[in-house]
Amino acid sequence: MLFKLSLKNIQKSFKDYAIYFFTLILGISIFYVFNAIDSQTVLLDVTKTTYEIIDLMVYMLSSVSVFVSFILGFLIIYASRFLIKRRSKEFGIYLTLGMSKRKISMILFFETLIIGILSLVIGLFLGVILSQFMSLLVASMFEADMTKFTFVFSESACIKTLIYFAIMYLLVMIFNTVNISKCKLIDLLHGSKKSEKIKLKSPIICTIIFIISSTILGYAYYLVTFGIDKLQGMSDIYIPIILGCITTFFIFWSLSGLLLKIFMSIKKFYYKGLNSFTLRQFSSKINTTVFSMTIICLMLFVTICVLSSALSIKNSMTGNLNELAPADVQLYKELNLSEEEYTPEQIADSKLSIKETLSKLDFDVDKYYKDIIEFSIYSESNITVKATLGSAYEEASSLYPRLLYDNKEMIVRLSDYNKIAKLFGLEQFTLEDDEYILIADFDGWIPVRNMGLKANTPITLLGKNYYPKYDECKNGFIEISSNHINFGIFIVPDDAVNDSLKSTNYLIANYNASDKEGKRKIEEMLINTGKSDYASSTTIEATTRISIAEASNGLGALVTFIGLYLGIVFLISSAAILALKELSESSDNKERFYMLRKIGTDEKMLNKTLFRQIGIFFLFPLLIAIIHSIFGIMFCNYILLTLGNDQLLPSIIMTAIFIVIIYGGYFLITYQCSKNIIKDR
């Protein structure tokens, strides 16, 4: 009997459960999709290095899933709380008719069980379908061969999803039982008739708290942007985070007491149409949901920052590859090795050219490489970052106190750099016999470098002074990479340095093969030189375009998937909480809308009022979150400066699209459901 009653209740209250049911299905499908990546990638034809990266990504996603399960668990319990409140009168009638609280708990148990089973079946079905598209995305990111791809069902992801959500539903059942056992009959019968009390807080106190909170929040914004150098360590980053969380709460608290008072003072606006009704309803909600609004705002803030930064990293690393890794291979080894740290064989090898070392490793450079450029990096103990800043050092050290000013500078001959620039497609330069040029591509260092150049700071090499040809850095680099890592390299005339100042030898070249498979074979031959007997006698190291591409794709995919996973879950949770709250409010407000109809308000005006009411409630935390995110993204951009910020705008646009689709979708569904609830029947 109780089971049949539960089924009828679900059918009767389907519209009440719609948002809850929809959110559960989304949560389950997303949980399955991101935990099924390991099964999807097993059949992809990828290299060993790429598979190791994917394995790390799967491990990271599994760890993140634990955190995600807590978020979804909180969401399910939060939703259950509102659903019980929505049906309080129904439960009160059951008690009046003689039904025990234990039997009511059993009804809720069966309802939760039925909804849980349905949502799991539908969610897993949807997840299995979506996971196939995820396979295509993974393959695209890792440039994998899709010839071995087939339809895959991940048993491990399915089992994990079933276990996690079974635990969540069990907790919901316990929560519902405890909640019902504490309810009183009078509260259940008349709970829906109770109005939210609008506590008119003192405008003076609210204004003072708002000003103080805004000032402290402004200081937190300053710390993560222009005052970031004041944050000396990782622990200091928690200071602006904590300040931001606390001040967000007090801003909502103070605005909840100010907004209604402000609008009430603007009588022409307040008494126009149904504005007074809309504003009082909104003020009532903010008064009673300050903490919830704070949490939602912070979740939206995290969503925007995480999604924007994650997508920016992926786009930047992919976009940087062609620009920053224009050659196939780069080899280098240190010169002037210390006898205390290296063996006599390694010291002897450091005096050989890279070509000679590769010959001893049984690797024929001329056979496998083309466009070969050999050059050296020079350094002088007296030419440090501090020395090259000259009179600008005091100002630079005060503005950027954490930079390593005692590091020795890197120097390259003009003819060597022009050869590299020609191969890389960069600008080539000319110099007078007493000039130098400074090249850099790392945005964080360029302002510091320009300070020294504007001061016309000379450098002294072999007793001769050289002065800057330009008063600002020129764009350029000499090492292939996926990031902008050139903090500054000095280009000098060829006769400005000699062999005594050499510090590192380099060789840059392209593979003597046109297809990808041929390039991989040459690269494998280079890697196999590490097994040679002579390998222990050399300190030569190599960086290749293929390895950079694999690492970039791997890191980009890792960050993207974790960002999407967390971002979408946070976004769904925020929107679902707001939607459930609004539906509960709409149910409570049926009588109020009925009274508005009785005094002559037409349906068009009522729907317009409802749309505005829900729209303001959805928009308010999002607006504060967007303001937070402007400074949050600036901080993330500073941390990820080496990756470049060229791809930031497309990432922000993509994030905005996610928000419009998911958050906006929940808003529209909430409006339609609320409109059905307040209809005159």
Task: Please count the CA atoms within 13 angstroms of the CA of 111 that sit on its side-chain side.
Answer: 26
Whether residue 81 is predicted with pLDDT greater than 80 in this model: the reply is: no
Last residue of a domain, one of 538, 561, 591: 538
Residue 438 lies in a domain: yes
> Same structural domain for residues 82 and 20?
yes
Whether residue 17 is predicted with pLDDT greater than 80 in this model: the reply is: no
> Same structural domain for residues 148 and 1?
yes
User: Using CB atoms within 10 A of its CB, is residue 381 exposed (0-12), middle (13-18) or buried (19+)?
Assistant: exposed
Residue 215: alpha-carbon gap to chain centroid: 27
> Same structural domain for residues 490 and 372?
yes
Rounded distance, CA 507 to CA 419, Å? Answer: 12
Task: Please count the CA atoms within 13 angstroms of the CA of 46 that sit on its side-chain side.
Answer: 25
Output the pTM of the full model.
0.74
> Same structural domain for residues 61 and 178?
yes
What backbone torsions phi and psi does residue 603 show, to the nearest 5 degrees? -65, -35
If one compares 633 and 215, the residue with the highest pLDDT of the two is 215
Q: Which tokens belong to 212?
A: 């103080």
Task: Please answer whether residues 375 and 413 qualify as being in contact, where contact means their C-beta atoms are separated by less than 8 angstroms.
Answer: yes
Task: State the DSSP H helix or E strand holding residue 490, giving kind and residue range, or none if neither.
Answer: strand 489-492
pLDDT at 410: 93
Whether residue 449 is predicted with pLDDT greater than 60 in this model: the reply is: yes
State the pairing for strand pair 369-378/329-334.
unpaired
Residue 406 lies in a domain: yes
Rounded to 10 deg, the angle between the 290-324 and 238-265 helix axes is 130
CA distance readout (Å), 521 to 17, 52, 67, 140, 554: 59, 20, 42, 22, 21
Which of 268-277, 416-425, 477-486 bottoms out in mean pLDDT, i.e. has the lowest?
A: 268-277
For the chain, the straight-line distance linking the first and the last C-alpha, in angstroms and rounded, comes to: 30
Total residues belonging to the chain: 681
Query: pLDDT tens for residues 510-529?
Result: 998 888 788 888 888 888 88
> Same structural domain for residues 52 and 134?
yes
Whether residue 44 is predicted with pLDDT greater than 60 in this model: the reply is: no
Rounded distance, CA 110 to CA 4, Å? Answer: 9
Q: Output b/e per residue, 573-584; b: 16+ Cβ within 10 A.
A: bbbbbbbbbbbb
Which of 244-248, 257-261, 449-453, 483-487 bottoms out in mean pLDDT, i.e. has the lowest?
A: 257-261
Residue 327 lies in a domain: no
Secondary structure of 369-434 in HEC code, one letter for each residue: EEEEEEEEEECCCCCEHHHHHHHHHHHHHHHCCCCCCCCECEEEEHHHHHHHHHHHCCCCCCCCCC
Task: Please answer whether residues 656 and 571 qualify as being in contact, where contact means their C-beta atoms are separated by less than 8 angstroms.
Answer: no
Residue 373 lies in a domain: yes
pLDDT at 384: 92
Residue 204 lies in a domain: yes
> Same structural domain for residues 19 and 149?
yes
Task: Please answer whether residues 312 and 651 qualify as being in contact, where contact means their C-beta atoms are separated by less than 8 angstroms.
Answer: yes
> Same structural domain for residues 378 and 490?
yes
> Same structural domain for residues 491 and 510?
yes
- What contacts 24+ positions apart, CB below 8 Å, involve 614-620? 614/582, 614/667, 614/670, 614/671, 614/674, 615/667, 615/671, 616/278, 616/282, 617/282, 617/285, 617/578, 617/581, 617/582, 618/575, 618/578, 618/582, 618/663, 618/666, 618/667, 618/670, 620/286, 620/293
Amino acid at 508: I
Residue 148 lies in a domain: yes
Which residues are registered as beta bridge partners of 45? 145
Domain count, the chain: 4
Residue 68 lies in a domain: yes
Whether residue 196 is predicted with pLDDT greater than 50 in this model: the reply is: no
pLDDT at 319: 67
> Same structural domain for residues 226 and 361?
no
pLDDT band at 39 (very low <50, low <70, confident <90, very high): low
Q: What Rg value do the Cα atoms of the chain yield, rounded?
A: 32
pLDDT at 15: 63
| Structural domain range at position 10 | 1-194
State the pairing for strand pair 369-378/502-511.
antiparallel
> Same structural domain for residues 163 and 24?
yes
Query: pLDDT tens for residues 451-465?
Result: 999 999 999 998 899
Task: State the DSSP H helix or E strand holding residue 662, giving kind and residue range, or none if neither.
Answer: helix 648-677
Rounded distance, CA 64 to CA 69, Å? Answer: 9
List all residues 6 or more positions away from 505 whose beta carbon is below 8 Å from its beta carbon: 332, 333, 335, 353, 354, 374, 375, 376, 377
> Same structural domain for residues 90 and 131?
yes
Residue 333 lies in a domain: no
Whether residue 562 is predicted with pLDDT greater than 90 in this model: the reply is: no
> Same structural domain for residues 452 and 405?
yes
Task: Please answer whether residues 37 and 128 qualify as being in contact, where contact means their C-beta atoms are separated by less than 8 angstroms.
Answer: no
Whether residue 630 is predicted with pLDDT greater than 70 in this model: the reply is: yes
